[in-house]
Amino acid sequence: MNNLFTDEKHYLTLNNYLKNIYNEKVFKVSLNGNFSCPNRDGKISTNGCIFCSAKGSGDFAGNINLSIKDQFYEVVSKLENKWPNGAYIAYFQANTNTYGTVDDLKMRYEQIIKDGKKLDDKIKVLSIATRPDCLNDDILDLLNTINKQLPLWIELGFQSSNENTAKFINRGYQNECLIKAVNNLKALGIKVIVHIINGLPTDTYDDMLNTVKFLSKLPIDGIKIHMLHVINNSPLGALYKENPFPLLTLEEYVKIVVTQLRLLPPNVVIHRITGDADKNELLAPMWTLKKFVVMNEIDKLMRKENYYQGDLYVQDC
């Protein structure tokens, strides 16, 4: 059992993990670097992942009309109104944030960290969301250089280990690509967080558990668990409006997430157990808008049954 588990949270929350390292509250500042995506610009596809909104998973990222610096301080000013003390994670969120030439990437990243000097002394981590198929050797060299100046996290969209589901959602790469990316990043000492989605139409209950079992065999540092959001301005939204398909109920989702947590190694940081959607664009399921209800139900079930993250984890010999 991990000593950062609590009576309330029977899993390793990001908040507890960060407080243990930095001894203060650490907030994520979401940024929009105006990146594209190979799954949108025609290199792989022009449709994007089927669940992705027109903003490329950047619905809550920074204002694209502002510089990275101005985006950062605009978000920080809002956070400081509520929490005057704390530190920050600079998070390149929207689209594929390693998709471009090394010079293009440097131009954006160096607005946060350049020659060891940070935009703001309170920045503790640079986090970059991307795809595992957008990490060539030159980009890995750049990321390695950054990681030596400022702790670097790379977040990889994966969603499901079911290869048939990967095709259905138009993910654009096979599982082996994720394995290679994780191993390459870990060889450089870079922390890796993987995103998954529960409730994809072609995934069964066993598929959702198998995705976590698959990831538990890789040296990942963190995971983000999301419920599928059916968004109005997405290909999936169009399918849903034409022929609504069944979605997980709150109760089903809670049971699945609890089992997934139990299957994960106890040292994997749980960055999310639910996600956010724009309420003006969300078609279904509407219960996902009650984020704290979802989190509380997961906590309640784990406490009631005395379940803990990792209590079903089996390490390979």
pLDDT of residue 272: 96
Mean pLDDT of 65-93: 89
Instruction: Give me the pLDDT at residue 57, please.
Output: 53
Weakest-pLDDT range from 33-37, 159-163, 180-184, 287-291: 33-37
* For the chain, percent of residues with pLDDT exceeding 90: 80
* Pair 99, 37: CB distance under 8 Å: yes
pTM: 0.94
Q: Mean pLDDT of all residues in the chain?
A: 92
More confident position, 258 or 67: 258
Name residues whose C-beta falls within 8 Å of residue 175's C-beta, 6 or more positions apart in sequence: 161, 163, 166, 214
Where helices occur in the chain by DSSP H, the ranges are 14-22, 68-82, 102-109, 137-147, 163-168, 175-187, 205-216, 235-242, 250-263, 291-305
What pLDDT score does 47 carry?
74
**Burial call 285-305: b when 16+ CB within 10 Å, e when fewer:** bebbeeeeebbebbbebbeee
List the domain boundaries for the chain.
14-305
- Residue 91: which pLDDT band, with cuts at 50, 70 and 90? very high
User: How do residues 188-208 score in pLDDT, each as one tens digit?
Assistant: 999 999 999 999 999 999 999
161 and 177 Cβ atoms separated by less than 8 Å: no
Tokens of 74: 């605009």
Using 50, 70 and 90 to split pLDDT, how confident is the model at 317? Answer: very low
**In the CATH scheme, what is the code of domain 14-305?**
3.20.20.70
Instruction: Note the pLDDT tens digit of each residue in 220-272.
Output: 999 999 999 999 988 999 999 999 999 999 999 999 999 999 999 999 999 99
HSE-CB for 279 with a 13 A CA cutoff: 6
Taking residues 75-92, report their average pLDDT: 88
CA distance 126 to 152: 5
Of 50, 56, 57, 55, residue with least CA distance to 201: 50
Is 8 in a helix, a strand, or coil?
Answer: coil
- Contact status, residue 126 vs residue 109, Cβ threshold 8 Å: yes
The total of other beta-carbon atoms located within 10 Å of residue 67's CB is: 11
Q: How high is the pLDDT of residue 61?
A: 58
Q: Is the pLDDT of residue 55 over 60?
A: no
Rounded mean pLDDT of 100-123?
94
Dmax over Cα atoms in the chain, in whole Å? Answer: 53
